[in-house]
Structures are given as C-alpha cells and as structure tokens.
Amino acid sequence: MSADDLLPAERKVLETLGDRQLDFRAMWAISNLFRSAAAVRRHMEGKVLATERVSWTGFVALWVLWVWGELGANAFAEAVGISRPTATGVLRTLDARGWIARRADPDDGRSVLVSLTPAGRTTIEHLFPRFNAEETAIAGTLGERDQDRLASLLRSLSRSVQDRDGS
C-alpha cells in the first residue's frame, strides 16, 4: 500500500506524528472504521431518515423491535446498543409518535414489555427498504467478494473487542 492511497487527514497525521513510535497499521484500520461509520451514518440520516424525521437511534430502535418482536426494556436497550436510561428516553419519544407500546409483564412485576404498534411497523417497513437500497448503492462500489470480506473482517474485530472486554 503506497502513501498515495491515504486520505488527506491520514497524510497530515504522518506529517505530524510520523517519527513517533506508534502502530500506524492498527491506527489506519481503526481510524478508518470511525471515519467511514460516521460518513455512512450522516448519509443515511440526510438521505433516508430525514424524510420521516426519524433519528438514527430511533431508526435502530424500530428495526430492533421489527426483527426481535416484543422485548423487555432491558433486552431492548442492549439490542439497540444504548444504556437503559437512554432507552427510557428514546422509548418516550417513540411512544409520543405512536410507534411503540409498553405493557406490564404478566410474569414479572418489574419488567416492561415493548413492542411496535401497527403505525410503528408501517414506518419501519416503509423506511427499511429505502435504507437497504442506500446500503446497496454505497457498498456496491466494492465488489461482492469485497463486501463479504469487509463484513468478515469487521466481525473478527467485534469478536476481538468482546474477548478483550472479558465478555
């Protein structure tokens, strides 16, 4: 890999820190992870989610409930990837929009079960195909093999972090 392939920000890093004892190989991998994730997220928020005035987290929340069905608030928070206090706030917002419903768990007085309302289901079923179409457009510039390779490498990274966290 020649330095010509580096992004401008990366070349600036080399210019400033190039003489330090740092693992630039790992740095390029991880920093580009965040750079590309932020770029894709921004793109999706602007091109897909803005049309329905849905936040990123709100979208993920609807998606999770669509895929998993009714969930306890705790499991919901974990699946969405947010803390429990944050989940409380997000569910309040989605509730105000009429997209989710909460009911007491008949088997556990502490637990609250969360699910999509018909309106919420309609929203995610309308939104997700358009989201997926953008995924296709963005990832499509890589070949099919490279999309698979990328997904595989990222799964390895997730598992690596999980191991290091001491799951």
Partner DNA sequence: GCCATACCGTTCGGATACGAACCATCTGGA
Partner DNA sequence: TCCAGATGGTTCGTATCCGAACGGTATGGC
Residues of this chain that interact with DNA (CB under 7 A) are 45-46, 55-58, 72-75, 81-91, 93, 102, 105, 108-113
Asked whether the beta carbons of 74 and 84 are under 8 A apart, the reply is: yes
Which of helix, strand or coil describes residue 54? coil
Each residue 86-125 as x (binds its own copies by CB under 8 A) or -, in order, gives ----------------------------------------
Q: Which of the listed partners (DNA, its own copies, none) does 34 bind, with a CB threshold of 5 to 8 Å by partner kind?
A: its own copies
Q: Closest Cα partner for 57 from 32, 88, 81?
A: 81
Amino acid letter, residue 156: S
Crossing angle of the two packed helices 24-47 and 56-68, in degrees rounded to 10: 90
Min dist CB 83 to its own copies, Å, is 10
Does 75 sit near its own copies (CB under 8 A)? no
- Dihedral angle, C-alpha 100, 102, 107, 111, nearest 10 °: 100
Q: Closest Cα partner for 37 from 137, 142, 135, 130?
A: 135
Interface residue with its own copies among 23, 53, 96, 109 (CB under 8 A) is 23
Q: Which of the listed partners (its own copies, DNA, none) does 102 bind, with a CB threshold of 5 to 8 Å by partner kind?
A: DNA
Report the interface residues with its own copies, using CB under 8 A: 1, 5, 7, 9, 12-13, 16-17, 22-23, 25-30, 32-43, 46, 66-68, 79, 81, 128-129, 132-133, 135-142, 144, 146-165
